[in-house]
Structure 1
Amino acid sequence: MSDLVLYFSIKYEGNFNKIYKALLNKEKFDKEAIIKMKEQLDCQYITIFDDEYPDELKEINCPPFVLFYKGNINLLKEKKMCLVSLENNHSTKLLLDQFVKDMISKDEFILIRPDRSWLFDCKIKTIKIVDRGISFYDDIENNNTLIISEYPNFVDPPKKNLPFSYRIVSGLANKVVLAQCYDTNEEVMTIAFAIEQNKDMYLIGNEFELFEMFNPSKIKHIENYNEI
């Protein structure tokens, strides 16, 4: 079964709906082609049928059939937190900076972040969820980083498909922390999927302009890391 989903994931370039339809319709599986496909991969991978596949993703809608990755796959076994925040975050900057420092010093969580997140200079164990082919990214030479994509090779999916990757961002996280969130694509999609997935959600500070869109009763107000 692992080779089967890998074959369709590569053939249909990580497109969940096309992979699902191929499996549903029992589309023909080319055993010779999958051998060549494996040889051409420049990354590692795990499928939804493998023991290493994270339990958190098995519980969400539309879990990716295959995760292509580079880096330390063992980071998936640890507790994980998604931090959603703007880069130019002025009103809650001090609170956010202290939160990140405490997160680093206590080393309790792996940081989950989208590819376009500003949190790239933090010296913290990180799982980066990317929304295009894994081959666009260099090999990882340290044990503190993991890059994951549902897209193989150099696949560059249409922009309309990009928000779908945020189901993986929130899906992997045990907790989702928000700081000064506005009506941007990254924040809206992460929060929407987190609510759908019934994640524990927290808000640092008071800047949150999405209350009209989302139920604020699902989000706990906090001032520091110790309240998580």
Structure 2
Amino acid sequence: MDEFKRKLIQLVHSRKASWKEIYSILKYEASGNRGEETENAFNNPAYTQQLHRDLQLISVDRLLYHYSSQNIHLITIFDDEYPEKLKNIYQPPWILFAKGNLSMLKITDSLAVVGSRNATDYGYKSIDFLFPSLIKRNIVIVSGLAKGIDAHAHKTAIKLGGKTIGVIAGGFQHLYPKENSKLAEYMMETQLVLSEYPPATRPEKWHFPMRNRIISGLSEGTLVVEARKRSGSLITADFALNEGRNVFAIPGSILTPDSDGVHYLIQQGAKLIKSAEDILEEF
């Protein structure tokens, strides 16, 4: 492994470096200003000193040995295994921490499925109705391993013999929600689970909307199944729209706020979905 990637691994494990700060530092590294990158990137001696101290405590070799013993793979944005679709999003993850079947990252036909954590029977039945044709067409289902629609999407894909990718907030050692930890662990063995955060990272509130850009970024399109107007599902749909990806929406009852977000998306131009063929024709 070259020094550039080693530096990237150290920076991602440092709590002192944000995405933009990592970008600035790597840009200076690439320009040949090694050793002076933080000084040149930031006019803040106290910050620079803190960051250097932090990086000196991070042993890349120890980390890689530790992760290897747990079957955790590190895929940097400079590696061939890194999904091409994900490289093209706003602020793509510098590193993907992955457990499971890495070959799934190379499959081009993938659909993000997101929706309410408090899903109704209608939401579950909509997935049961649509998925057989999607799985038969080898569409990979991408979701966030949350309760409700996410979990049902993963479970239904597995039950039908399909492939599914889970993207989590926080790291592998702090799975959230706890009720889906067995599902996540099963997917780490037979499917694929991804995070942009080191395994020891506890999930923070802001991690959840940020991981949604990865869910949509891995996918050709995003299907929204039951969502209120202010919800993480609409954040995912916004990310998809911003990247020029398809947004699909299953209409619901006008008598419940559970579908207000879905109907808003349809009014904004999302494709109304009545059958799996409505989705498949866009692939």
Tell me which interval the TM-score lies in, with the shorter structure as reference length. 0.7 to 0.9
Query: Taking structure 1 as reference, are residues 135 and 92 closer, same or farther at Cα in structure 2, changes over 3 Å only?
Result: closer
Residue identity opposite 1:166 in structure 2: N
Match of 1:128, SS state, is strand
Cross-structure match for 2:112: 82
Cross-structure match for 2:22: 19
What displacement does 1:164 show?
Answer: 1.0
Query: Taking structure 1 as reference, are residues 38 and 31 closer, same or farther at Cα in structure 2, changes over 3 Å only?
Result: farther
1:182 and 1:147 map into 2 onto residues whose CA distance is 26
2:57 and 2:202 map into 1 onto residues whose CA distance is 26
Residue identity opposite 1:223 in structure 2: K
1:107 and 1:226 map into 2 onto residues whose CA distance is 10
Any unmatched runs of 5+ in structure 1?
none
Match of 1:134, SS state, is coil
Deviates more, 1:184-193 or 1:7-16: 7-16
| Bigger strand share | 1
Asked whether the equivalents of residues 227 and 261 of structure 2 are also in contact (C-alpha less than 8 Å), the reply is yes
Residue identity opposite 1:74 in structure 2: S
Cross-structure match for 2:43: none
1:8 and 1:59 map into 2 onto residues whose CA distance is 21
Cross-structure match for 1:121: 155
Cross-structure match for 1:141: 189
2:264 and 2:113 map into 1 onto residues whose CA distance is 19
Which structure's CA Rg is the greater one?
A: 2
What displacement does 1:129 show?
Answer: 0.3
What displacement does 1:132 show?
Answer: 0.6
2:192 and 2:202 map into 1 onto residues whose CA distance is 20
Cross-structure match for 1:190: 236
Match of 2:215, SS state, is helix
Higher relative contact order (CA 8 A, sep 6+): 1
Query: Taking structure 1 as reference, are residues 130 and 11 closer, same or farther at Cα in structure 2, changes over 3 Å only?
Result: same
1:14 and 1:65 map into 2 onto residues whose CA distance is 12
- 1:132-173 CA-partner distances (Å, limit 9, x unpaired): 11234648332xx10000011211143133311111011111
TM-score when scaled to structure 1? 0.85
Asked whether the equivalents of residues 175 and 200 of structure 1 are also in contact (C-alpha less than 8 Å), the reply is yes
What displacement does 1:102 show?
Answer: 2.6
| Bigger helix share | 2
Asked whether the equivalents of residues 165 and 194 of structure 2 are also in contact (C-alpha less than 8 Å), the reply is yes
- Give aligned pairs, total: 225
Deviates more, 1:167-176 or 1:11-20: 11-20
What displacement does 1:85 show?
Answer: 2.5
Any unmatched runs of 5+ in structure 2?
29-36, 39-51, 176-184, 254-258
Deviates more, 1:75-84 or 1:34-43: 34-43
Q: Match for 2:248 among 197, 202, 208?
A: 202
Query: Taking structure 1 as reference, are residues 37 and 60 closer, same or farther at Cα in structure 2, changes over 3 Å only?
Result: same
RMSD: 2.8
Tell whether 2:276 aligns with 1:225: yes
What displacement does 1:89 show?
Answer: 2.7
1:13 and 1:64 map into 2 onto residues whose CA distance is 16
Identity %: 24
Cross-structure match for 1:55: 84
TM-score when scaled to structure 2? 0.70
